[in-house]
Structure 1
Amino acid sequence: MKIDFLEHTLQFKFDAGTSRGVMREHNVVYVILTDPETELKGIGECAPLPGLSVDNKTQVIDFLKSLKKSEEYLNIPLASAEAFEIVEELVPEDLPSVRFGLETALLDLISGGKKEIYEGEFYQGQKRIPINGLIWMGDEEFMLSQIRKKIDSGFNCLKMKIGAIDFETELNVLNFIRRNFSEKDLTVRVDANGAFSTTEALSKLEKLSKYDLHSIEQPIKPGNIEGMRMLCKKTPLPIALDEELIAVDAKKGEEFLTAIEPQYIILKPTLLGGLKVSDKWIKNAEKLNIDWWMTSALESNIGLNAISQFTAYKNVILPQGLGTGQLYHNNIDSPLTIENGEIFYDKNKKWDLSLFKKTR
């Protein structure tokens, strides 16, 4: 197969604030695999997040350049199991975004370049996935404006970024939500992105728990296993591990989760090393009766499509974090559609793949 890649800068529609700073753009690299006989293309997305991913864009490009030199020796797999084996053999574990991108490009190529990563009702437009509406950090009025728009759009689950602005302001926003919407009417999650110190975390969780929240993601920075274990044990509010899973070997996932005993885990294939690794985490979690949900790591619709199809294949019930397709001015137009707090694949819409005519 022929191997190409293409760099692309996604432009946010607004300043996307988190406790790690404000994002205005996101640089991604698409890997494009072509069958030289049919000219069919499989496209995957490598989208490492600066300051969070194990790998970075320079490493991604350097690896894809080296892979391109050996393209004449690489055969197109006939089945998904073979695709996953190829990726494990070719791509080092310290390039998780490349593993995800190459996996999904191969799966796309196997399906004939139709963007059908997994067979099933989702791709056929017959199944919808519940998702949470994402509320980004900003001043109080900006956050309240987002909340109103999400609720008006039919969302019954919101995820609110916290930890970068005044904590009392964040509590005021939560108070506004609960004055107007009960826990039965609206599920609310919060995501601290590791913003709380270990000394203040428990007291802040106690204050947050007064607002009938579903869960909090990553209250303290990753890497403090003992601190997180104690927090999960004492917390009045269910804790979901997110960044904590990055750089942890999924083969040791059961041991890791047993040590911390979180209430939930959150899976981002781009950061963890792909769909096969995510599946290992799911099996580890379910074995320990730990629930989970999938989340986009701010990929464009190419990566989001793959994650959505994988998620639908798992027959999820909890709302997932798959609403990032609306973030960018210059996303890849796709059949992915959000309506009434659900994402689905609208077969009446087409992919706009004109960008990929510019491969090098």
Structure 2
Amino acid sequence: MTQLFKVKCSIKAYPLNFKFEAGTSRGVLKEKITYFIQVTSDQYPGIIGIGEAGPLKGLSKDDVPNFLEQAIKILNLVEEMEFHASQEVLLNQIDNMMLHEFPSVQFGLETALLDLINGGQRKILDNGFYASGSPLPINGLVWMGEKDFMERQIDQKIEQGYDCIKMKIGAIDFDQECELLEKIRSRFPKDKISIRVDANGAFAPQDALGKLERLAKFEIHSIEQPIQPGLIAEMRELCKQSPIPIALDEELIGIYGRENKLQLLESIRPQFLILKPTLLGGIIPTREWVALAQQTNTGWWMTSALESNIGLNAIAQLTSSLKAEMPQGLGTGQLYHNNIDSPLSILNGQIFYDTKLEWNLSEILND
């Protein structure tokens, strides 16, 4: 007989402090407030399940002034529910709460509850990443900033053994960005270093194709979200005409239901999808995007949304469970001065779970 259980919940804000000013086309990031959800149950004495709700400022649907107040209301409802100690039933119970306006809370809840029923050892799903230390290839992320700063990051990533570099573009002068790309490509052919670029919707629709044609000279693997989301007809034409494969990112936020997702993919016909569980509503919606990507012959990879190592661990385990192959966007654990110490480690352009290291949760556990 399936064990049923009820939980007690709490949530705690935690400021993550960047090691540098992280530039994007939407502005410069110095701090990110994230929230840790803790769940306990009489049926699991002495065990604490932990998940992360990390809304991304200016992008998440749940980036709202009263986020904490609304999250507490959701957790109060959760405390009234009775859960099944079965992974898939539990995930469906959370998904059926229809938390579409609070996707990061859904992902944090899923993670906390799965962690609880798996013994509070930060195991979220059955996967090779956690169980056997199977590494995941990742791209080296180069943030926007002054040209010299970006150049130093590129050199550092290549020295660290990355063979896939992702560069954020669209904030500094486009000619300078092209110079940086030309410099990378002059040193490393595409069979040595794969280059991805992310415009975060910064290109004007009327200029986008011309810029993509210029970027194509550098044998770019793909470009993420060249124009702002919601311009379906314009994005469809770009995907049809672009000499560089296009990946949808922000375009996927707020799209719920299998039919709506399929309609978007069939309307735009992108070459790739960028999947961020924190922004998409957690595990089940992300799995649905992957299934539809496979159905429509669309490539995909997973990317973190600047979570701490708690959220990053959950995303990496989900990625591993989905048998991802190409480099993932999971290298953000090194961004913060005060990240949560964890077994997540990066070596030679791969992230892996090093069981010789331990979690240090003293900063986030309730007093």
- TM category (shorter chain) comes to over 0.9
1:206 aligns to what SS in structure 2?
helix
**Alpha-carbon separation, structure 1, partners of 2:171 and 2:68:** 32
User: Could you tell which deviates more after superposition, 348-357 or 146-155?
Assistant: 348-357
The amino acid across from 1:216 in the alignment is I
Residue 106 (structure 2) pairs with residue 99 (structure 1): yes
Note if contact 2:85-2:117 (Cα within 8 Å) is conserved in structure 1: yes
1:79 maps onto 2:95 in alignment: no
Query: In 2, distance between residues paired with 1:274 and 1:31?
Result: 14
Give yes or no for contact 2:142–2:154 (8 Å, CA) kept in 1. yes
Q: Deviations over 1:304-344 (max 9, x none)?
A: 00000010111211100000000000001100000000000
- Find the counterpart in structure 1 of residue 185 from structure 2: 178
For structure 1, the residue ranges without an aligned partner over 5 or more in a row are none
Give the deviation of 1:59 after TM superposition. 4.2
Kindly tell me: are residues 115 and 234 of structure 1, through their superposed partners in 2, closer, same or farther at Cα, counting changes over 3 Å?
A: same
Quote the offset at 1:68 in angstroms.
4.3
The reply on whether 1:134 has 2:144 as its aligned counterpart is no
Which runs of 5 or more residues in structure 2 are unaligned? 1-6
Alignment counterpart, residue 223 of structure 1, candidates 212, 230, 235:
230
The residue that corresponds to 1:306 in the other structure is: 314
Q: 1:10-34 CA deviation, whole Å, 9 max, x = no partner?
A: 0000000000000000001111001
Q: Is the CA contact (8 Å cut-off) linking 1:125 and 1:344 kept in structure 2?
A: no
Measure how far apart 1:126 and its partner are.
2.9
Separation in structure 2 between the aligned mates of residue 276 and residue 2 of structure 1, nearest angstrom: 23
Q: 1:72 to 1:142 in 2, by over 3 A?
A: closer
Match of 2:9 in 1: 3
Letter aligned with residue 190 of structure 1? V
Distance 1:30 1:138, change over 3 A: same
Q: Is the 8 A contact 1:130 1:318 kept in 2?
A: yes
How far apart are residue 58 of structure 1 and its match?
A: 4.2
Q: Is the 8 A contact 1:300 1:332 kept in 2?
A: yes
SS at match of 2:49: strand
Alignment equivalent of 1:41, drawn from 48, 51, 58? 48
TM (normalized to structure 1)?
0.97
SS of residue in 1 equivalent to 2:84: coil
State which of 208, 217, 229 in structure 2 corresponds to 1:210.
Answer: 217
TM-score by length of 2: 0.95
Preserved contact between residue 135 and residue 351 of structure 2 (Cα < 8 Å): yes
Contact residue 83 and residue 93 of structure 2 kept, 8 A: no
Contact 1:193-1:217 at 8 Å conserved across structures: yes
Over 3 Å counting, the alpha-carbon distance change for 1:171 and 1:71 in structure 2 is closer
Aligned-CA RMSD value: 1.3
Structure 1 residues 220, 291: closer, same or farther in 2, change over 3 A? Answer: same
Counting matched residue pairs gives 359
* Paired amino acid for 1:116: K
Per-residue Cα deviation, 1:149-180 (whole angstroms, up to 9, x for no partner): 11111100000000000000000000110110
Q: Which residue of 1 aligns with 2:285?
A: 277
1:162 aligns with 2:180: no
The structural deviation recorded for 1:94 is: 1.0
Shift of 1:2: 1.0
Residue in structure 2 matched with residue 21 of structure 1 by the alignment: 27
Change (3 A) 1:54 1:81: same
CA–CA distance in 2 between the matches of 1:299 and 1:125? 23
DSSP-derived class of the 2:175 partner: helix
Which of 136, 142, 154 is 1:147 aligned to? 154
For residues 59 and 312 of structure 1, the distance between their equivalents in structure 2, rounded to whole angstroms, comes to: 34
Q: Counterpart amino acid of 2:302?
A: M
Q: Secondary structure at the match of 1:33?
A: strand
Percent identity of equivalent pairs: 49
| 3-state SS in 2 of match to 1:175 | helix
Rounded Cα–Cα distance in structure 2 between residues aligned with 1:85 and 1:279: 12
Question: Is the contact made by 1:45 and 1:303 (CA closer than 8 Å) also made in structure 2?
Answer: yes
Judging changes above 3 Å, is the alpha-carbon distance between structure 1 residues 72 and 268 closer, same or farther for their aligned structure 2 residues? Answer: closer
Q: Distance in 1 between matches of 2:149 and 2:196?
A: 18
Conserved? CA contact 1:263–1:291, under 8 Å: yes
Q: CA contact under 8 A between 1:17 and 1:136: conserved in structure 2?
A: yes
Matched, 1:266 2:274: yes
How far apart are 1:248 and its partner, in Å?
1.3
